[in-house]
Amino acid sequence: MRMTDNTILITGGTSGIGRALAEAFHDRGNRVIVAGRRHDLLTDITDRRPGIVGMHLDLNDPQALERTARDVRQRFPDLNVLIANTGISRVEDMTSADWDGTTAENIVQTNVLGVLRVVAAFLPTLKTQPTAAIMATSSALAFLPRADFPTYCASKAFLHSWLTSLRHQLRNLPIEILELSPPYVQTELTGASQAADPRAMPLATYVSEVMAMLEHGRHPRGELLLERDQARRWAERDGNYDSLFAAMNPV
């Protein structure tokens, strides 16, 4: 994808990786629209970055998504990049007597249906552009899961497969399909402790690497995956799956 002169919509763009990407693309001369559920975070980013447009959007509300899509078509008919970044992650203990699947359903609702709905809402606009891109945030855990986050990892595996099919179906259109697969990054995805965890990759460092990969086209098969995560990506092919799974999920 080109790195400037785009009109970019980022869902989940008010915090974490989404916000860092919004600011990085804004710095490169793009028109950036961020969409999110929390009014306070929308106000914060638009106050700090007057050129960024904020839109309130709850992806679990189909009517709200329809209104937002209609608003974007009217105000930003040149929208050519969609970054579907919204996602949640929760620990689940399926051995517990209290586990009832509610957390799993919430994760699927946001991480899977949220992405499908937002792509469906904006794909007609993207199809009209001379050059366009769709980026969805998956995870390096799509390829080899952390067993204490079962539905989160499975939701990202779904996205990896779905994006592969979307890329194939749209192969004759000028729409690039990109899969962003972050490692463990200092964000609040799993809570405040993750943002301060020294084991996690600093957010600014990660987004800087992503932007460099985009600038130089270093994303084979449309996958934006750090070099250090390639072992997990190809664990089954290389015969390392069982040993890597055991290392990530000690008994």
- Whether 184 sits among the annotated catalytic residues: the reply is no
Region class of 49: left (phi > 0), else alpha (psi between -120 and 50), else beta: beta
Strands 53-56 and 81-84, how do they pair? unpaired
- Dihedral sign from CA coordinates of 109, 113, 114, 117: negative
Burial class (CB in 10 A: 0-12, 13-18, 19+), 73: middle
CA dist 178 and 83 (Å) reads 9
Q: Among 152, 184, 206, 241, which one carries the catalytic annotation?
A: 152
What is the rounded CA–CA span in Å between residue 139 and residue 129? Answer: 28
Catalytic sites, residue numbers: 152
